[in-house]
Chains A and B, each alone.
Chain A
């Protein structure tokens, strides 16, 4: 007997598919990114850090001392894991299902985020490619700046509904739209 298991995104309960077309300010939920937690063992911290920068198509997110999330939007979780487990001194675990990745774009992205995070997102303080763990809408997550007006948000799956709804609420005054994409 062969069985096919349907993979379900946790925000399918929140996104009907009948959303408005994206406005200038838009919150995109990435459907199946590959994400993995990378832990560096004692002495290998900087080597692992550097090695993560060398893997093509993988973005590195700082989660704490010697702990990162590796994110890839054009790889499968299995392929990402294979690439990461070859790094000496690192332990890796799949986090593709345990996290939800969202991206907010638009001229008012910072304005919306100022209502969700307590961290200063001025470009001098939080430049492109920087990431940090922080509370996002009261939930422990990770925020990264991916462009002048683009930020990626990673939160635990179980909290994603709360964060998604809260972000939409905070974006009402700038007509933030949201959907898979």
Chain B
């Protein structure tokens, strides 16, 4: 046996020893240990150094609120900093390292900070490192962060898997202690689908540390018996190692399951952690209560911990936290622990109790031989790296008592975090001398200790009764559950004690952030009195533990300093997460390429075979250009593609355009209302360009709509706005015009659509199409079903974005690659090439066609030269009314124009601003901006589209194109935005 491991007792598996290491030193523990219990069993009370003063620290708790015993677990890329030793499940080969110390835990140079502590009070950094201001970010803060701090994250990529999942239930029970187990049992027997989640690797909560007898069984056996019954029920899901960390809208709870944090080498097919979104109709908070530390001088010395923690180490792990133990308590908890320690043969030297009146039951519990100093306090502790003694003070008389552990209890605080995460604050209860959960409605309620109950029997009953009530509320026939009798309960009464008068040395309130009573006093003096200000000024309640242990004492002490009740001080804001959750778990599988879905066009494979370079456009991966051997820059490829289209023909994948199929006897009327231009008289077999406005008169989207049958249309949208247009049409059909007979559905994914553009496109296409494509048989804007040679039905549209003779051919997606291959083959002798969206963009700029670079949510139809698209003779259309607003018709609005640099070699880039010639470069002289720019291989120069104040009146004017970001100024001539074929001769060829 190790010095502190008792020869018997505890729930650890003594038949299964585990080897582990701490700071490289090999040690042994047992299965069922936490790192903390195993270290204590080995006599290692010192586990870390504090954040600011580098003071030696040991565990204060045996659970998830632990502020001190933070270590780094694992090695290399699997290092996990700031892991709480008190909840880290021991496993074979665990490697733990202490943090925030150099060169070693027991000899830490940084502890020199402690000598300077008079200067390191709250707000010290802000006051001291004020000048020069630029030094804060670059010098002071990095230095301070290096000196003070917790563990360090490793920069290596995380080698492990994480995942996320959903779970659903009628009742979520949070916490598998006595309350949660009884609640789950009662609800499960009533037939509810119940999820019981608990953060511990062993379910049972406080029953695992309890010496009472429940239902005739030792408490831990009672827990095991209930769990055994629950495991047989198909309507119960037991989620161990699962911390419910957040409560979100619509009764969705966030939880994180540690799937493989207790193994040295994780199975690569399993995640190490899994985030659960649990959707619960009802939820019960059975998270128990947290014991409060006491604020007295030297209360942070290793060996000082809560009485409940020592009881857990003793009863659950079979570990004595000391050999000579003193207790400083203001209530029953201290007496209970003292009794358990005495029974285990540990020397309890004294109980120091600030109360002068102690209940008979508590005195009896301590036993006759135990020395009780009533009306006394601990004012200081002795020792260096561990506790050696304490100073007890009573009525001015001081007494030094030797001890190697001091167990404190300041009463209990219900753990109500989850109930407070959606805006409601905890409520101070005078009767409980604690903050209780707010009333958040009947769907989510606290029970047991979380509801302020202290006795085990009361918790068992409360859990069962509240579960039955929730079951009935959900319409289940639930019967009252028998409550097992409890033998060996204690008197939990306590009197609040926030601050110990006459304390010498630092009295810590927040252990993790080294916040003392003196810091709280300073924040009051310096006008940071509001509890939220006190928190920020002192850092009390920040960092990884978020003040789970210290906040209530902070509030109590501040209330004492201000002479008001804790109710008047109130609490700070509770937010998720209850305990830290790793980024890996939150990301799940969504990392690297899996970070978001990708969309592939039906012609993706065809484009890839032609050497396409792809560009992400939203979720789509679109072919941007098709470099050929010898082409060194993207521009060379794009220039060649543009010229090939203008001279011969090119094939471009336009499958990503949104396609919406519209049906109905009043589809024409519907289109007439959603488009600004006229659509009633579009004849079957024809396509028409359409412009959609928003309700406020600004352009929304554009595209073509073709009439394929009397009551059948197909609309195209831009790639970027496909989903928005669909949603807009849904809104129009369902809300604005429900009287119209119109139905529609997206058909974007059904079709592989290719644009064949260029003077030779008709000749090439005719080789593949059975139907007559002559200009008279298939004129500009014709749109109808055709048959490809071989019998494949396709849709053909004679529309053009490039300004060339052009067609868009649509075939079912699965045939896309085959048809594209045949088209390329059919056009080979005519010099056809594949072209991408970059060339497409150059072609449309040359032709003066707009995209969302111009339709940017600020422009009207008239601004971009599409004023003729406003069919104002129509009785109404979306955007009509507001398009006549003064602001939208003002003469000095920005209007779309073309720009040509005066110097033929000069380059214009999109985003540059426009100034009058000779105007001072300044945004106050702003005349507009460049919306699209490119090198035009057709014209052999750079060109641009721009939005210029009253632009159309200013054709021929010289304008300064000012690019502040890229430090360039270019003189350009304002011209028509149509650079190529202004009379549309090519279109109708």
Contacts and interface: CB of A to CB of B under 8 A. Distances in A.
Given A1-B789, A3-B822, A8-B817, A41 B279 contact: no
Interface string A153-174: 0001111011101100110110
Interface stretch (B78-86, B159-167, B635-643, B838-846): B159-167
Given A7-B818, A117-B166, A156-B749, A138 B743 contact: no
A94 B599 contact: no
Interface string B577-602: 00000000000010000101111111
Contact of B594 (A10, A99, A169): A169
B790 A5 contact: yes
B664 A41 contact: yes
Interface in B802-841: 811-819, 822
Given A10-B813, A41-B743, A138 B269 contact: no
Given A159-B599, A162-B597, A169-B594, A8 B166 contact: no
Interface in B444-480: none
B168 A120 contact: yes
Contacts of A125: 168
Contacts of B743: 39-41, 66-67, 91
B598 A115 contact: no
A3 B789 contact: yes
Interface string B239-251: 0000000000000
Interface in B243-302: 269-271, 277, 279
A122 interface: yes
A108 B703 CA distance: 46
Contact of A114 (B166, B598, B792, B822): B166
Contact of A94 (B161, B750, B790, B815): B750
B12 interface: no
Interface string B555-597: 0000000000000000000000000000000000100001011
A75 B631 CA distance: 49
Interface in A44-103: 66-67, 91, 93-99
Contacts of B166: 114-115, 117-119
A158 B750 contact: no
Contacts of B790: 2-5
Interface size class of B (residues with CB under 8 A): 35 or more
B812 A94 contact: yes
Interface in A99-141: 99, 114-115, 117-120, 122, 125, 137-139
B270 A173 contact: yes
A42 interface: yes
Contacts of B819: 5
A6 interface: yes
Contacts of B741: 41-42
Contact of B745 (A6, A39, A139, A162): A39
A5 B820 CA distance: 10
Nearest to A39: B743
A5 B589 contact: no
Contacts of B788: 3, 5
Given A4-B790, A91-B743, A9 B594 contact: no
Interface centre among A94, A97, A117, A118 (most CB of B within 10 A): A97
A171 B269 CA distance: 9
B250 to A, nearest CB: 11
Contacts of A119: 166
B370 interface: no
Contact of A159 (B165, B277, B597, B792): B597
A19 interface: no
Given A2-B790, A6-B818, A120-B279, A39 B749 contact: no
Contact of A158 (B270, B601, B712): B601
Interface string B765-801: 0011000000000000000000011101000000000
9 contacts: A5-B811, A67-B745, A93-B750, A114-B165, A114-B166, A117-B166, A122-B168, A158-B602, A158-B749
